[in-house]
Structure 1
Amino acid sequence: MTSSRPADPPTYAQQQLRAGTMAAGLRHFLQYIQREPAVGQALALIDLSELRGPLDEAGLQSLLHEAETERDRCAALAERDTRRTEAGLAHGAACTCGHSDTLHTRHLTEDHRLPCAHPDCLCHDLAFV
């Protein structure tokens, strides 16, 4: 049986090299932003607090996917709230199919429907009575 010991923490020299590399990259990036202010304006709209890993194309694609997923989820929840309010019903009211609104999809379809996710349900859109 082999024991796995934790990796040694980086040395100060390694940390200095990493920090210097990051500083050089940021300096170069800031020079680019000065030449292209629209890039800086676009960056001001982005919350990087959830970024895991480097700010490269893959990292940005991951952030984009997460932002689009969250946007779509919130759009579906807002649509549910709007429909519930318009029908004068309380949170969690059942759809005309009899299933709770929480059983309907959490993403609007391309034609703005919220179909029921319950197996064998034929409800194609969340509708309140």
Structure 2
Amino acid sequence: MTHTHPEPAETYAQQYQRAATIVAGLGCLLRHIQREPAVGRALTLIDTTELQGPLDAAGLQSLLAEATCERDRCAALAERDARRQEAGLAAGAVCGCGHGDTLHARLLTEDDRLPCAHRDCRCDDLVFVTR
């Protein structure tokens, strides 16, 4: 049976090196922001509260993918709400196909449709029947 020993605690020299690397990276970023204010404005739009890992290309791609999904989901839900309000109906209203609005897609198609997600339904867009 082999024993594994825990890694020794990080030394102050290692902590210093990590902190110095972060300082250098932030300094570089600040210099770029000074030269290109649009970069600074773009950075103010990013909430890093839940950011895990480095802010590298892969991290930014991951953030972009998450933000895109959230944007698309919200666009579909906003469209559903707008259609329901236009028809003067309450939440949970039923589409012309007979299924509730929550059964319709949570993502708009490329041509702004919200097809029904019910397996046997052929409804290709959420249309409320007005009262």
TM-score range with shorter-chain normalisation? 0.7 to 0.9
Query: How far apart in 2 are the matches of 1:41 and 1:115?
Result: 37
Structure 1: which 5+ residue stretches go unaligned?
none
- Bigger shift: residues 6-15 or 35-44: 6-15
- Bigger shift: residues 28-37 or 7-16: 7-16
Query: How far apart in 1 are the matches of 2:90 and 2:2?
Result: 59
Q: What is residue 99 of structure 2 aligned with on the other side?
A: 99
Aligned alpha-carbon RMSD (Å):
2.1
Structure 2: which 5+ residue stretches go unaligned?
none
| Alignment TM-score, normalising by the size of structure 1 | 0.88
CA gap of 1:16–1:104, structure 2 versus 1, over 3 A, is same
Q: CA deviation at 1:67?
A: 1.0
Query: How far apart in 1 are the matches of 2:6 and 2:80?
Result: 48
Query: How far apart in 1 are the matches of 2:5 and 2:32?
Result: 43
Q: What percentage of aligned pairs have identical amino acids?
A: 70
Q: CA deviation at 1:51?
A: 1.9
Q: CA deviation at 1:32?
A: 1.7
**Number of residue pairs matched by the alignment:** 129
- Bigger shift: residues 18-27 or 8-17: 8-17
Q: What is residue 21 of structure 2 aligned with on the other side?
A: 21
Q: CA deviation at 1:7?
A: 6.1
Q: What is residue 89 of structure 2 aligned with on the other side?
A: 89
Query: How far apart in 2 are the matches of 1:71 and 1:117?
Result: 20
Query: How far apart in 2 are the matches of 1:75 and 1:2?
Result: 56
Query: How far apart in 1 are the matches of 2:10 and 2:127?
Result: 58
Q: Is 1:39 paired with 2:39?
A: yes
Residue by residue over 1:85-114, the C-alpha shift from the partner in whole angstroms, topping out at 9 and shown as x without a partner, is 111111011111111111111010010000
